[in-house]
Amino acid sequence: MGQALKLSTEMIAGVAVGGFIGWSLDRWLGTAPALMVLFLFLGGAAGIISVVRSAQRRQAEAGPLPGKDLPADDDE
């Protein structure tokens, strides 16, 4: 449950921050609601990126999947 909550907060945070940025820009530039709509979508994309990244990180921590235990490419 903790993991699911973590991933869903990241998704929601993406949309919320995107929406907030769009809303603030709208207020500043007087273009309501165009930018808010645009940034809601961009925020959703950002949320998906964060979710994928944290899932990848999680998977890296858990170790390779069975049958996929070839040496991972290490870009250190």
Partner 1 sequence: MDETHGAEQAAHGADGGLPNPMHQFEIERLIPLKLFGIDASFTNSALFMVIAAFLITVFTIVAMRRRALVPSRLQSVAEMSYEFVHNMVRDNVGTDGMKYFPFVFTLFMFVLALNMLGMVPYSFTVTSHIIVTFALAAFIFIAVTVIGFVKHGPKFLKFFVPDGVPFVMLPLLVVIEVISYLTRPLSLSVRLFANMMAGHTMLKVFGAFVVALGVLGGWAALGFMVAFTGLEILVAFLQAYVFAILTCIYLNDALHMHH
50 binds partner 1 (CB under 8 A): yes
Window contacting partner 1 (CB under 8 A); options: 11-19, 24-32, 65-73: 11-19
Q: Residues 51-54: contacts with CB within 8 Å, 24+ apart?
A: 51/7, 51/10, 51/11, 51/14, 54/6, 54/7, 54/10
Size of the site for partner 1 (CB under 8 A): 23
Q: How far apart are CA 76 and CA 74, in angstroms?
A: 6
Binding site for partner 1 (CB under 8 A): 2, 5-6, 9-10, 12-14, 16-18, 21, 39, 42-43, 45-47, 49-50, 53, 57, 75
